[in-house]
Structure 1
Amino acid sequence: MLRQQEYILNTEEEFQQIESVKDQLKDLHENGNFFHFSLQTLELIRRFNNLYIEYFEKGNESASNFNQLVIISNNLETHLVREN
């Protein structure tokens, strides 16, 4: 039988995680520390930024965009912690 995930985020926590990742990226952009990241992390940053703009700034608040944003923010946060 499949083991249930140890933690499940609610929607508010997912929004907090997205904003946390956005703040981390803003700090990285201001410092200019992009050169040591892997191509995979840079691609996650690009995808995150595109989805963030689509969801929050353009107002395309579809469930699929939100789910993609949550998944990418989780993966991106992991990559940023690993590579910093």
Structure 2
Amino acid sequence: MLAQQAYILNTEEDYQQIDTVKDWIQNIHESGTFFHLSLKTLELMRRFSTLYTQVFDKDDIHPSTLNQLIITSRGLEVELIREN
């Protein structure tokens, strides 16, 4: 039971991270500051947006797709912090 609770907390943290990264991407698009970003970061943003749409807008919640979204959001967060 304790292992499940830890997993639930990690999942909630992952969803919070996904929302944070989504907000960062929206701010970048609204401010127009994406011209100085590297191609790697832009590709991660594209991949994140595609996966986010697939999971949350189209309700395609396969474990593998959700896992890809979580991994992409972590990598994108690292790249955005590194570049800012």
TM alignment of 1:65-84, pairs within 5 A: 65-84=65-84
Q: Which runs of 4+ in 1 moved over 4 A?
A: none
Name 1:31's counterpart in structure 2. Answer: 31
Q: CA RMSD in A?
A: 1.2
Count matched residues. Answer: 77
Deviation at 1:19, TM superposition (A): 0.3
1:42-61 equivalences under 5 Å are 42-61=42-61
- Between the aligned residues of both structures, percent identity stands at 55
Listed as ranges, the gaps of 5+ residues in structure 2 are 1-6
TM-score, length of structure 1 as denominator length:
0.88
Give the letter for the 2:29 counterpart.
H
Residue ranges of structure 1 left out of the alignment (5+ in a row): 1-7
Of Structure 1 and Structure 2, which has the larger fraction of its residues in helix? 2
